[in-house]
Amino acid sequence: MKRKLYILMMLIISYFIVALPFKVMEIIPGFADIRPVTVFGPVFALFYGLPGCIIFALMNLVMDIVAGDIAWSCIAGLIANFMGPLLFMLYWKRKSKTQPHLKTMRNIGHYCITIFIMAVFEAAIITPSVAIFYPDVDWKLFFNSVVLNTALFPILFGIPLTILMQEELGFKQIPSREQ
């Protein structure tokens, strides 16, 4: 139990360390900002499974509340930030014919494609709520900012972080069905 609480606290602390400094870099004030913390969505999902997905989604909601960005779209954000990493994890681990590692260019390509699909999926969940409740927000810009944030950071920084955690620090990913 102590180990699980320690892991939970480490996930929360690492989320805040990355999220807080960038909260002021807004693309659309009150709705979209630059979020390098999205790197943790797939990483938390791969290494911590369902609890990692839950922590990622809840911390996103907490950051919205802390920043005063609480809006109806935060509910869609909570759902998207849970479902995106969850579906990424389920697809990568259970449906993919590859092992969950990034040792080959094929797996890195597969990872990138899966991340991009996850990003579009999350944007498709969040954008309609923003468009409905806040019609003055440019939904195309919002959609693109969500896709870019949710794909760019996990690809640019998530791949090296995943490799570092797995190869150098000895973290084990949740095993797939084939293993």
User: Which amino acid is it at 152?
Assistant: L
Measured between alpha carbons, how far is 13 from 147 in angstroms, rounded to an integer?
Answer: 25
The answer on pLDDT for 28 being more than 60 is no
Topology classification of domain 2-31+39-168: Arp2/3 complex 21 kDa subunit ARPC3 (1.10.1760)
Q: Give the model's pLDDT for residue 144.
A: 92
Give percent of the chain above pLDDT 70.
83
The answer on pLDDT for 145 being more than 70 is yes
pLDDT in tens, 86-139: 999 988 877 666 556 788 898 899 899 999 999 999 999 999 988 888 888 888
Measured between alpha carbons, how far is 160 from 162 in angstroms, rounded to an integer?
Answer: 5
The answer on pLDDT for 178 being more than 50 is no
The 3-state secondary structure of 101-129 reads CCCCHHHHHHHHHHHHHHHHHHHHHHHHH
Q: Give the model's pLDDT for residue 63.
A: 84
| Cβ burial, residue 15 (10 Å; 0-12/13-18/19+) | buried
